Amino acid sequence: MTFRRVLATVAMAAALCTPALLNAQGPAPAPAVAPAATPPKLIVAISVDQFSGDLFNEYRQHYVAGMKRMTEGAVFPRGYQSHAATETCPGHSTILTGSRPARTGIIANTWFDLNTARADKAVYCAEDESQPETSSEAYVASPLHLKVPTMGGRMKVANPATRVVSVAGKDRAAIMMGGPTADQLWWWGGKNYVTLKGRPENPLVTQVNGGVAKLLNEDRPDMELPAECASRDFAVDIGAGKSVGTGRFARKAGDSKAFRASPEIDAATLVLAAALIENMGLGKQAQTDIISIGLSANDYIGHTYGTEGAEMCIQQYSLDRELGAFFDRLDKDGIDYEVMLTADHGGHDLPERHRENAMPMEARIDPSLEPKALNAAVAAKTGLSGTLLYGDGAASDMYLAKTLSPAQRKKVTDTLMAIWKASPQIQTVLTSAEIAATPSPSGPPESWSLIQEARASYYPGRSGDFLVMLKPRITPIADPTKGYVATHGSPWDLDRRVPILFWRKGIASFEQPLGVETADILPTLAATIGLAVPKGEIDGRCLDIIAGPGESCPK
Ligand SMILES: [Zn+2]
């Protein structure tokens, strides 16, 4: 069975219209009517993983379907994930909480807790590490590390009848946007969509899983290359006889890794979202409901193939089409919905293609800066043994071992600082004391200093003793032939900048090019449904999304 036919089966089983991959005709244009004074019946909050402001700018002229619709509302092309550690978990934690990682507690995908019994001391952001026989890689998913309520959580407190749903390609996206009180919380678990431990199965999700399994267990032929992608379709040599840039997402039956790093996973997640909306009657109740949707393909594709090749180009056209079909379905159902679309962080193309495209200075990390190599170097210089330093990569929070005496601590710190200072790839190393002494930043996120960004990422008790920041144009993956070729995570704008887009039927379009924050999303959405959020509980501010003299924010 083909991809299209299997998705059609899934969709029909769930009594849905066909997603965009199933039909050739374009989406119906959204009818223009005056905006209703009433609150929307459904909030649809979408995060497209690694959808940088740069990707949005590059492709916005080509969108014809769902993404085009998003450019016709309130457009903030210069949104900021304003913090320093631009990773998936911190990014998703800001989107629906109104808060920066300094308040959400989600400082990184993985941090270190030197008090845990685990040998490697690593803790995943969306796990419960108290579960026996787990590790930061083989964990039990949990929302327990998120320190603040989500939008859905606040809506439920205000009105317990509110239906809160969160679905995503990644557990941390679903969990950080849905929060602990979401009624339905599903993410792609590698072979199918799964939920939190102890939560009941959902027959509808089982049905969707059956359809997706059929799809996964078929060979997938090449996807078509849109004509506009032809100029990006050239091979970039990454060494060891490997290249990227010309991929078409063909895969063998059952190759779940290739499935995940392709537009297929977003199509499946949107089918699941639409099925849950219909099945639960979201948007058809007396109150406003909310669904958050994490579309993860963009990130896996960016990491696997980079951001400027044929692969990302195909993904952008597919994303546009799939979102178009999803919105058309909601329109046909007569649901009055408000959409917000943003990203958890931006992204950076691989150095090898950058060098082909006018950036000869682009480089990969010197492997001697990796925590393992640093440990060995410091041990050799100080005569100390064992693990002296913990860190999740060369550019991350770094933690000194608790077993060190004050004198040893000073010796290790001095040795490390000398190594970091001597490296031409390190921009700065900030100490936790310096960061803690910095006031919480305010003002335009586009003009913050690095230490202000670090402060927005700083959570006492979780953050490290040092935060290491690389210079711009350094990719913290030493060898692209062993796994991912490109990444994000830096404090530079290419990783911080994301679009923030709001759309509702009848909205008058405007564009605001000045910087705003993803922490502004919660108060902005809350205002449109009359949900009170005390200012002291969040970092963001309400954005007035009515063009001209009208005002969507509370006075
Ligand atoms: Zn990523």
Distance (Å) from CA 361 to ligand 1 centroid: 23
Domain-wise residue ranges, the chain: 48-77+89-98+146-280+299-333, 107-142, 366-424+426-470
Measuring CA to CA, which residue among 521, 542, 468, 456 is closest to residue 82? Answer: 456
- Confidence grade of residue 23 (pLDDT, cut at 50, 70, 90): very low
472 pLDDT above the threshold of 70: yes
From CA 525, how far away is CA 281, in angstroms rounded? 21
Interval 218-265: pLDDT, tens: 999 999 999 999 999 999 999 999 999 999 999 999 999 999 999 999
Using alpha carbons, select from 305, 434, 425 the residue that is nearest to residue 370.
425
Pick the CATH number of 48-77+89-98+146-280+299-333 from 3.40.720.10, 3.30.1330.40, 3.40.30.10, 3.20.20.70: 3.40.720.10
Question: How much distance in Å is there from the Cα of 302 to the middle of ligand 1?
Answer: 8
What whole-number distance in Å separates Cα of residue 163 and Cα of residue 147? 21
> pLDDT (tens digit, 9 = 90+) per residue, 70-109?
999 999 999 999 999 999 999 999 999 999 999 999 999 9
Q: How far is CA 350 from CA 123, 301, 327, 394, in A?
A: 28, 12, 33, 17
> 158: CA distance to ligand 1 center in Å?
34
Confirm whether 518 is a catalytic residue: no
CA of 451 to the centre of ligand 1 (A): 23
Which helix (H) or strand (E) segment holds residue 271: the answer is helix 263-280
Please tell me the predicted confidence (pLDDT) of residue 268: 98
For 190, residues 6+ apart whose C-beta sits below 8 A from its C-beta are 256, 260
The DSSP letter of residue 368 is G
pLDDT digits (tens, 9 = 90+) for 484-505: 999 999 999 999 999 999 999 9
Q: How far is the CA of 103 from the centre of ligand 1 (A)?
A: 22
Per-residue confidence band for 344, with pLDDT thresholds at 50, 70 and 90: very high
pLDDT given for residue 8 in this prediction: 53
Its pTM surpasses 0.75: yes
pLDDT, one tens digit per residue, over 40-71 is 999 999 999 999 999 999 999 999 999 999 99
- Looking at residue 542, its pLDDT comes to 98
Say how many Å lie between the CA of residue 489 and the centre of ligand 1: 8
pLDDT at 10: 55
Ligand 1 midpoint to CA 484 (Å): 10
Cβ neighbors of 250 (< 8 A, separation 6 or more) are: 219, 220, 221, 222, 223
User: Which entry of 86, 88, 475, 524 is annotated as an active-site residue?
Assistant: 88
Sign for the CA dihedral angle at 63, 69, 74, 79 comes to: negative
Query: SS3 of 554, please?
Result: coil
- Alpha carbon of 4 to ligand 1 centroid (Å): 27
Rounded to the nearest angstrom, the distance between the alpha carbon of 25 and the centre of ligand 1 is 33
d(CA 442, CA 452): 9
Q: Give the pLDDT score at 555.
A: 81
CATH top-level class for 366-424+426-470? alpha beta
- Distance in Å, CA 299 to ligand 1 centroid: 5
pLDDT of residue 26: 43
Q: State mean pLDDT over 285-299.
A: 98
What is the pLDDT, as a whole number, of residue 296? 98
Neighbours of 247 (CB within 10 A): 23
According to DSSP, the residues that pair with 47 across neighbouring strands are 294, 342
* Greater pLDDT, 7 or 35: 7
How many angstroms separate the alpha carbon of residue 238 from the centre of ligand 1? 19
Please tell me the distance between residue 409's alpha carbon and the centre of ligand 1 in angstroms: 33
Measured CA to CA, the distance from residue 522 to residue 302 in angstroms comes to 27
Q: How far away, in angstroms, is 458 Cα from ligand 1 center?
A: 20
Would you place residue 17 in the very low, low, confident or very high pLDDT band (cuts 50, 70, 90)?
A: very low
- Is residue 225 within 8 Å of residue 314, measured between CB atoms? yes
* Res 33: pLDDT: 37
Whether the pLDDT of residue 16 is over 90: the answer is no
| % the chain with pLDDT above 90 | 93
Average pLDDT for residues 348-374, to the nearest whole number? Answer: 98
Report strand pairing: 510-511 vs 74-80. parallel
As a whole number, mean pLDDT of residues 114-135 equals 96
Cβ 504 vs Cβ 338: under 8 Å: yes
> What separation in Å is there between the alpha carbon of 202 and the centre of ligand 1?
29
Position 336 pLDDT exceeds 50: yes
Tokens representing residue 488 in the block: 């994000």
| Whether residue 21 has pLDDT greater than 60 | no
